[in-house]
Amino acid sequence: MTSPVPSEASSKSMPQWLEPIALLAPAGIWLGLLLVIPTLLIFQLSLVPGIRPGQVVNPSGLDNYLQIFQAVEIRPATKTEPAVTAFIYLRVIWRSLSFAIGTTFMCLLLGFPVAYFIAIKAPKNWRNLLLVGFVLPLWTSSLLRSYAWITILRPTGVLNSILTAIGLPALNILNRPPAVYIGMTYSLLPYMVLILYASLEKLDRRLLEAAADLGATPIQAFWKVTIPQVLPGIAAGSLLVFITSIGDFIDPELLGGASSMTLARLIYNQFLGASQNWGFGSALSMIIILAVSISIGLLLKYGDRSSANL
């Protein structure tokens, strides 16, 4: 006598509609606890003007956001000079955007030839080795890399020693914006190269051969055949570098000095500095979150998703 075969419905351990929820629950709980809830708390604090640690959170308006557009009176070091007013917070936001845009442009300008050489010109046996060698600096701490650049760029550093030895004038780069651009570009260049390499590796070279047969010059083929094919990778790499650089704290702090105040440093001062204005710091944090969210939305819409799987 054979036992009855269990039906398909009875063999299932859970309803079908519950399976996706069970699969997504761990990641959903993780994102909720470490991303959504902290973001909501920051947004709540941003609506409380002048709140300090230990005070009651009572959201009352957009004063912290309006403070960003207010002029601040700057008192000179000597009493003989008159005080001046300036839109300091807007300057800081503009400086942060300038660093992010400039770093993105420099990474694209320097990274595209490297990625093109590795993906197109280098022998296949050497490509993986070249990629590993290029991203090798990422294996070290970003703090150590910044201190290494301090050693190179300081007035008595390696760069000025070499310039002086060959008869050229020394450069005063450290604690200035050029040093910030150098440090941020060096830190983020490998990410741009990896994403561009993933796009260039899939380049259809038959189209280049067809363009050459039709009389196109190498420059014309590059702009009309190569660039359109790798444009999604360019967008993905540029947005990734922009998102990372707009919130960079270490490079502007160590290489830029007091003249290179950025949003990240200003937020740090509001939370852990002498002012202790958590409400205003939260409003500035929401600006970075908004900028990053817009960039991620553009990345998901226009970026090369397959490059992210490298």
Q: Mean pLDDT, to the nearest integer, of 19-41?
A: 87
pLDDT band at 10 (very low <50, low <70, confident <90, very high): very low
At residue 232, the pLDDT reads 86
Looking at the predicted structure, is the pLDDT value of residue 310 above 50?
Answer: no
Indicate the CATH number for domain 88-309. 1.10.3720.10
At residue 309, the pLDDT reads 45
Give percent of the chain above pLDDT 70. 89
At residue 308, the pLDDT reads 45
CA of 27: how far to CAs of 39, 143, 193, in Å? 17, 30, 30
Looking at the predicted structure, is the pLDDT value of residue 58 above 80?
Answer: no
At residue 2, the pLDDT reads 54
Q: Which residues contact 282 (CB under 8 A, 6 or more apart)?
A: 42, 43, 44, 45, 46, 64
Contact present, 295 and 239 (Cβ < 8 Å): yes
Q: Mean pLDDT, to the nearest integer, of 70-83?
A: 69
At residue 241, the pLDDT reads 93
Give percent of the chain above pLDDT 90. 22
At residue 11, the pLDDT reads 46
If one counts every other C-beta atom within 10 angstroms of the C-beta of residue 105, the result is 15
- Tens digits of residue pLDDT in 155-210: 888 998 998 999 888 888 888 999 999 999 999 999 999 999 988 888 888 888 88
If one counts every other C-beta atom within 10 angstroms of the C-beta of residue 120, the result is 15
Q: Measure the CA dihedral 195/201/203/208, to 10°.
A: 120
User: Which residue would you say has higher pLDDT here, 19 or 253?
Assistant: 253
pLDDT band at 297 (very low <50, low <70, confident <90, very high): confident
Can you tell me the distance from the alpha carbon of 224 to that of 211, in angstroms, rounded to the nearest whole number?
9
Report the DSSP beta bridge partners of residue 85: 73
Percent of the chain as helix, strand, coil, to the nearest 5: 70, 0, 25
